[in-house]
A = this chain, B = another copy of it.
């Protein structure tokens, strides 16, 4: 039986872009189709979160299929907040595996810099429960993860500098990524003294507002980067219902599903892209994904275990923190980076990488999606 494989990838530069949501989506998708050799596409899945709220543009699936001349094929948009891209990819993977489609274009996009900061902050809060007292009292995503960071420091004996080390590592990687939003070198001191956002998080601990798109062609094919498995889980969108602020259980569950399906464990993974919407979120994610013991993520970072020369390089693209975080595009962009690692052509290439993992988070833990990939021929 032929595998389900990523046969082509594309992505725009991330950051403040003059192009529209449609133009970004088309740019990344054209790249992916060309890279895949323009196979006949059977369906289009688009991951997107804020198109309606910020660009007054929905029906992105039909718009993309029409703009690319793909014919009257099934198309749709999938929304799962910041996990929209990863969830869209999973749908396509499951349906190809099932034999419903042979080739699917999966693209993710977000246009966020066309409105003011207050508008975009309010729009992002649609990834919380808008009816809860939490939103009403002014909780935002930086607020939530600031509280998590304080709790992490208090509970596990980490220091502020360990958060900063995450941001520093990801910026180091971003310097080699031509599509990254932030490519300028920074120091640990820069992170520690940046403008405070929500204590203890400072500006460089937070992923930015970004425009951008990414796309992959997924096919029933022996060639290409093989998708080994897919895990997805949900969690409460309410802070007051989280039993332990230091856990993102949806990530743990999604990872367990993906590892079990593939018959692999964290020790088999050579390259990871994970959802570092904040520096603290990377520390928790490496623990939930099994790359560090619980409460020891900060030690792994301090010891350099999550970069080249350590156990497993994490976010060699620069991550959300420095590559940028155009929300709907993020889950697909992570997969593009992993595909490039397994094809041996990535920025910050990991020598001999054979197995890759991508983890995409939505809300404060409402959704998490984990995919495992193998190098062609592995």
**A residues apposed to B, CB below 8 Å:** 20, 22, 44, 49-53, 55-59, 61-63, 65-66, 72-81, 87, 90-91, 94-95, 97-100, 122-123, 125-131, 232-238, 241, 249-250, 253, 362-363, 366-367
Contact A98 B87 (CB under 8 A): no
Q: List B contacts of A237 (CB < 8 A).
A: 59, 62-63, 66
Contact B234 A61 (CB under 8 A): yes
With both beta carbons as reference points, the residue of chain B lying nearest to A366 in the complex is identified as B62
* A236–B73 alpha-carbon span in the complex (Å): 11
Q: List B contacts of A76 (CB < 8 A).
A: 78-80, 87, 91, 367
* A237–B67 alpha-carbon span in the complex (Å): 10
* A22–B58 alpha-carbon span in the complex (Å): 21
Q: Could you name 24 residue pairs across A and B whose Cβ atoms are closer than 8 Å? A: A22-B129, A22-B131, A44-B234, A51-B126, A52-B126, A56-B125, A58-B79, A59-B126, A59-B129, A59-B367, A62-B236, A63-B129, A66-B237, A66-B238, A72-B249, A73-B233, A74-B90, A74-B233, A74-B234, A76-B78, A76-B91, A77-B78, A94-B100, A98-B98
| Further contacts, 7 of them, CB under 8 A, given A72-B249, A74-B232 | A50-B52, A53-B53, A57-B131, A59-B127, A59-B362, A61-B367, A94-B98
Contacts known (A74-B234, A76-B87); A126 close to B62, Cβ less than 8 A? no
Q: Which 3 residue pairs are nearest across A and B when measured between Cβ atoms?
A: A98-B98, A62-B366, A74-B232
Q: Which of B59, B91, B131, B250 contacts A72 (CB 8 A)?
A: B250
* A366–B99 alpha-carbon span in the complex (Å): 25
With both beta carbons as reference points, the residue of chain B lying nearest to A44 in the complex is identified as B234
Give the shortest distance, in Å, between A140 (CB) and chain B (any CB).
Answer: 13
* A331–B208 alpha-carbon span in the complex (Å): 37
Contact A59 B94 (CB under 8 A): no
Q: List B contacts of A232 (CB < 8 A).
A: 74
Q: Which of B52, B59, B130 contacts A363 (CB 8 A)?
A: B59
